[in-house]
Structure 1
Amino acid sequence: MADLVSDHVLKRLREWGVEHVFGYPGDGINGLLAAWERADDSPRFIQARHEELAAFEATGYAKFSGRVGVCVATSGPGAIHLLNGLYDAKLDHVPVVAIVGQTARSAMGGSYQQEVDLMSLFKDVAGDYLQMVTVPEQLPNVLDRAIRIATARRTVTAVVIPADVQDLDYSPPGHEFKMVPSSLGASSGEVVPPADGLAHAAEILNAGRRVAVLAGQGARGAARELTEVADVLGAGVAKALLGKDVLPDDLPFVTGAIGLLGTRPSYEMMRDCDTLLVVGSSFPYSQFLPDFDQARAVQIDADPAMLGMRYPFECNLPGDSAATLRALLPLLEREEDRSWRKGIEDNVRRWWQVMERRAHVTADPINPERVFHELSPLLPEDAIVTADSGSAANWYARHLRFGPGMSGSLSGTLATMGPGAPYATGAKFAHPGRPVIALVGDGAMQMNGINELITMGLYHHEWEDPRIVVGVLNNRDLNQVTWELRAMGGAPQFLPSQRLPDFPYAAFAESIGLRGIRVEDPEEVAGAWRSALAADRPCVVEFVTDGAVPPIPPHATLEQMESVAAALAKGDPDAWSVVKEGVKAKAQEFLPGGKSR
């Protein structure tokens, strides 16, 4: 029997080394599903509970494997459901290929059932490469280019295949006019900027006396070079949220996260530096960078299109982070005055003491900061950590201290709710032998995380290490938006939009054969984490936390404080708790030591 187009799609994916495809079935991809059966499920079809979850799983797989993620969906509603997860991948520069079914060619334009103009729908999210396969000879070139472009540009691409085309006999492009042959494979090399650019960057950095470094996810793989550059220049290193795992947090000059979710040492380093080096980051919040007339600045990025953004850089270097830093190092002069570096290290040391005290501030019933603080020293050496958007991202950014070998990510640029749990599933298929921890708010769990637990239950028997620990902050509030209403809008908490129904997250996990632990006593937090990390299956740890504990920015502005005060004065239903917890949390920054209260 001759191969059909659908058979060749799977064959080509196998030839590219694709091992998993995350998706959900539908009649628009029935031809592909039949081919999967003929191919003995190779590459493996991973059944999500929803197409959005499939896209998030593919994104998580790509983030933690460094390989292209692939997802598949049917026509119409299935394709529409992919969009949020695909935008998450696009905005975080993650290579993902979407393969999407479409109504038969004979019905196109006829207002047929589930007919959606997919080329218009995907033209933004997959703008780097979006094609519809209309004849078999088109297929290899289109699929190859989709994978190659997604990988090379670290972006989203999409291939649309009408249902009737999937069932056509496959024939390759011929050696003739208007045929486009194709080939497999794509090699990558380390791009290094030209010598004059490196010399210019070195001149700027050598002239600085108070150098600050900002590292993002593009610096992943350049830890040794970053450490050496920071040592030579006597610099501190702040990390963008997507670059949290770029350098270990036990290095004394690493100031941690930057921005609204960041640390005070990062804020103060940027406030006081005279020179800025940005490596592999497009951190968007320029108000947390030095004043525009304050610092001379150098940027290094593998994508030339991302250079020159966010700050008036004096020197922009297109190149691989590690290779560029290695080429730059011999040109740098060692800063002999270490007072700037010592000040940064002192600030970092004091900050971790503040965080220790803030984690032990009493709350009703559990301080969410303590949940993350107690987890940090228990993280396995090879842990993969995912976090969802919301207040969980604050505590993930500030309290978790990553060591060498740990990995972590969240939805950085899109900051969408919902990826924390499906990222964890994708990470497990990328690294079935590593423990994975997902840190999720109750809003995200109710949005889609509960369903993702079903997928974890379906597949965990296959993983070498079956552990996925899902930590849920149960405060019955869409907490991050509540605080944004107070701090940015000067509006009190609006219960009809913010209050969440209670849900038994741990009990639900138990009901589907997973482990579930509910924690209401702060003294049981550490023990619950230990039990979850020792479980022989995925485990949900439900922490009943206090939504009145404020995610205080590293430098709360007068406007923010006035907005919160105005919101409370307007009758915020949680006003007294907010005042009480806010005062206690802020006070920890001024205590010389001792126990918090």
Structure 2
Amino acid sequence: MKLLGADVIIECLKEQGVDTVFGYPGGQAIIIYDALYRARNEIKHILTSHEQGASHAADGYARATGRVGVCIATSGPGATNLVTGIATAYMDSVPMVAITGQVPTGLLGKDSFQEVDITGITMPITKHNFIVKDVRRLADTIRKAFAIAREGRPGPVLVDICKDVTATEVEYTPRIPDKNDYISNKYNEISSAELEEAIKAINRAERPVILSGAGVGIAGAEEEVRLLSELAGIPVSTSLMGMGTFPGTHELFMGMVGMHGTKTSNYAVHNCDLFIAIGNRFSDRIVSKVSSFAPNAGIMHIDVDSAEVGKNITVSYPLVGNIKDILQTLIKGVSPRKNTQWLDKIFKWKEEYPLKYDKSQEILRPQYIVERLYELTGGDAIITTEVGQHQMWAAQYYKYTRFRQFVSSGGLGTMGYGLGACIGAQLGRPDKKVINIAGDGSFRMNLNELATAVEYKLPIIIALFNNRALGMVRQWQELFYDSRFSQTSIDRGTNFKALAEAFGAKGIDVSQPEQVDAAIKAALAETHTPVLINFEIDKDDKVFPIVPPGAGINEVVDS
């Protein structure tokens, strides 16, 4: 059948099972939006307040559901406003397809109105990108984009489409998606000798440690990690992005590792004789000082992406391929053991060095707020965050028991991420309560998306940790720069409760510990209205533990 290019885009989205897209219209995308109007009963379009909000919402939707998130923008500034969100998704391996309008093919390269080379701009921050100048290639390009976004290590793909392509008729043939379309779906072949060496290393290790990263959750291998841990008596830490890939309530869980990891996790890594990293890229926030990271251990790295293996840390046992399949093979060969002496040491550290804060209840503490959020939600909420101190408190004090429960910008550290992501997560998972734990500095950056949450009657909660400062930078200035507080005070007199109400949301002020439970319960009771709880916390509250810059992770301090 003959369809306009714009309608082909919509039909391809439907082929891929897309039911929700996030975006903002404009001149070069107007024909796409006309097609969306015709398909309004089949695809829900969420009109955000800014294109960056659309990209973060698509990201949050993808992280919370495991499906490909989709965002749409027009050319020029519309497209460039997506860039931060695309980079955020790229750094954290989030499957996303960003569709941008482009000037007509005859105007390309002429500095036309709202023309930018968005494929050139996004080349370093996408798995792949396309510019479509021929309508006959449009359908296959859209299909390839989704296949690439999902394949192996997921990531964002951009499809830039010239306006005349969207306005041209073409013969369209419907197609039922096949997971093998356009991609090989073949993983690296691991030799039996490599697997045997890895199994021997695990069986002879006396002090093994597992680091479970986001790749575990992406591969659906959480159960395999738990089985390996319990079978061989191996304690487990997670990365920030790996939260929930191993239950935070499990006795073998040690907490997060690295710069703001627990002392138990960091001491265990420093003293282990085998470090098993699964679905993790050894970022600087985990490793800190390379020369003192797991100095007496053999390093085993299990990952789908060969480019990550050996990139930051020398690896003794590289296993590149499908994480789930590799772990199942290892489990078959590993001998059951209790590892009593090593685990006794771990349990002793957990008892001696728990996460701690002043619980005197004299002032409102952010750690206490997160603990109450955990208790009052039964540990079942999806938590999104902005970036800063509050992000670390959310990681440390909420016990995550499943992957896709913690949604946060890890690799890029994008302030302003959380609210858009919260909206996307709530739309993707309407069956869950979604809470955005935010700092006032990050929240200011994209707070206009409150209007989006109100418009679509989303019962999200914004737990605003308001310390009137850029808290994490201020903490570093105090600890490492002799308290030279340069440009980190943002005490601008903003009334966040009134601000929320101006948007049509509900606002609650909390300044005392005894007010916390009532505020959270009131927010949880809302079913169609966003609620912002303005928690007034002290600007001098700090995130501990912390590894000082240049130190090894074993040099972690907790006060």
Distance 2:359 2:390 in 1: 17
Partner of 1:55: 55
**Structure 1 residues 399 and 112, CA, compared in 2 at 3 Å: closer, same or farther?**
same
Question: Relative to structure 1, is the Cα distance of residues 337 and 33 closer, same or farther in structure 2, using a 3 angstrom cutoff?
Answer: closer
| AA partner of residue 96 (structure 1) | M
Write the distance in 1 (CA, Å) between the matches of 2:36 and 2:315: 51
State how far apart, in whole Å, the 1-side matches of 2:549 and 2:2 are.
Answer: 69
Q: Can you give the 5+ residue segments of structure 2 that lack an aligned partner in the other structure?
A: none
Give CA-to-partner distance per residue, 1:183-229, whole Å, 9 cap, x none: 73225688884322211101111221011110001112323322221
Residues 35 and 255 of structure 1, relative CA distance in 2, 3 Å threshold: same
1:287 and 2:288 matched: yes
Separation of aligned partners in 2, 1:120 and 1:396:
36
More deviation, 58-67/112-121: 112-121
* Residue matched to 2:493: 502
Q: 1:382 to 1:373 in 2, by over 3 A?
A: closer
Structure 1: gaps spanning 5 or more residues: 174-180, 461-465, 561-581, 587-597
Deviations 1:240-261 (A, max 9, x none): 0001111111111101111122
3-state SS, counterpart of residue 82 of structure 2: helix
Aligned residues: 544
Distance 1:212 1:554 in 2: 20
SS of the counterpart of 1:78? helix
Structure 1 pair 399/111, CA: closer, same or farther in 2 (3 Å)? same
Partner deviation per Cα, 1:521-577 (whole Å, 9 max, x = no partner): 1222233222222223321111000010121334557989xxxxxxxxxxxxxxxxx
Is the contact made by 1:240 and 1:283 (CA closer than 8 Å) also made in structure 2? no
Which residues of 2 match residues 34-49 of structure 1 at below 5 A?
Answer: 34-40=34-40, 42-49=42-49
CA distance in 1, matches of 2:243, 2:155: 21
Quote the residue 2:375 is aligned against.
377
Aligned-partner residue type, residue 101 of structure 2? G
| Distance in 2 (alpha carbons) for counterparts of 1:542 and 1:288 | 38
For residues 432-464 of structure 1, give each alpha carbon's deviation from its aligned partner in whole angstroms, at most 9, with x where no partner exists: 11111110000111111x21211111112xxxx
Amino acid at match of 1:442: D
2:536 matches 1:544? yes
Task: Give distance in 1, aligned partners of 2:72 and 2:170.
Answer: 20
State the partner residue of 2:177. Answer: 184
Paired with 2:551 and 2:325, the residues of 1 have a C-alpha distance of 43
1:238 partner SS: strand
2:312 to 272, 285, 310: 310
- 1:301-380 alignment, distance < 5 Å: 301-352=303-354, 354-355=355-356, 358-361=357-360, 365-380=363-378
Q: How does 1:150-549 map to 2 (within 5 A)?
A: 150-152=149-151, 153-172=153-172, 184-187=177-180, 193-220=190-217, 221-285=220-284, 286-287=287-288, 291=293, 293-352=295-354, 354-355=355-356, 358-361=357-360, 365-403=363-401, 407-448=405-446, 450-460=447-457, 466-490=458-482, 492-494=484-486, 496-536=487-527, 537-549=529-541
* Cα-to-partner distance string for 1:460-489 (whole Å, 9 max, x where unaligned): 2xxxxx531110011110111112233344
Shift of 1:124: 1.8
1:102 aligns to what?
A: 102
Amino acid at match of 2:70: V
- 1:406 deviates by 7.2
Superposition CA RMSD, Å = 2.5
Determine what percentage of the aligned residue pairs are the same residue: 29
Residue 346 (structure 1) shift:
3.0
Change (3 A) 1:141 1:54: same
Report the AA paired with residue 184 of structure 1: P
When residues 526 and 377 of structure 1 are mapped into structure 2, their CA distance, relative to the original with a 3 A threshold, is same
What displacement does 1:359 show? 4.8
Higher relative contact order (CA 8 A, sep 6+): 2
1:60–1:426 Cα contact (<8 Å) kept: yes
Taking the aligned partners of 1:245 and 1:75, their CA distance within structure 2 comes to: 38
Query: Kindly tell me: are residues 98 and 404 of structure 1, through their superposed partners in 2, closer, same or farther at Cα, counting changes over 3 Å?
Result: closer
Q: Secondary structure at the match of 1:245?
A: coil
Question: Following the alignment from structure 1 to structure 2, what is the Cα–Cα distance between the partners of residues 506 and 380?
Answer: 26
> Could you say which residue in structure 2 is the equivalent of 1:177?
none
**SS of equivalent residue, structure 1 residue 439:** strand
User: Counterpart in 2 of 1:569?
Assistant: none
Aligned partners of 1:98, 1:56: CA distance in 2, in Å?
11
Structure 2 CA distance for aligned equivalents of residues 230 and 309 of structure 1: 26
Letter in 2 for 1:64: A
What is the SS of the residue equivalent to 2:171? Answer: coil
Comparing 395-404 with 11-20, greater Cα deviation is found at 395-404
Distance, in Å, in 1 between the alignment partners of 2:283 and 2:337 is: 30
TM-score relative to the length of structure 2? 0.91
Q: Give the conservation status (yes or no) of the 8 Å contact 1:381–1:404.
A: no
In 1: Cα distance, 2:491 partner to 2:82 partner:
26
Secondary structure at the residue paired with 1:242? coil
Tell me if structure 1 keeps the 8 A contact 2:258–2:547.
no
Q: Secondary structure at the match of 2:288?
A: helix
Question: What is the match of residue 81 of structure 2?
Answer: 81
CA distance 1:548–1:166, change in 2 (3 Å): same
What letter matches 1:154 in structure 2? P
Give the Cα–Cα distance (whole angstroms) in 2 for the partners of residues 510 and 189 of structure 1: 53
Secondary structure at the residue paired with 1:123? helix
Residues 133 and 556 of structure 1: CA distance in aligned 2, closer, same or farther (over 3 Å) = closer
Q: Distance in 1 between matches of 2:515 and 2:162?
A: 55
Mark the structure with the bigger radius of gyration: 1
Shift of 1:231: 2.2
Deviation at 1:306, TM superposition (A): 2.1
Measure, in 2, the Cα distance between the counterparts of 1:251 and 1:324.
Answer: 23
Distance 1:6 1:558, change over 3 A: closer
CA–CA separation in structure 2 for the residues paired with 1:193 and 1:506: 57
Q: Deviations over 1:473-510 (max 9, x none)?
A: 1111011111223334445112x453242322222223
SS of 1:243's equivalent in the other structure is coil
Using the alignment, how far apart are the partners of 1:249 and 1:36 within structure 2?
A: 42
**Residue pair 1:380, 1:435 contacting (<8 A) in 2 also:** no
For the residue of structure 2 that corresponds to 1:60, the secondary structure is: helix
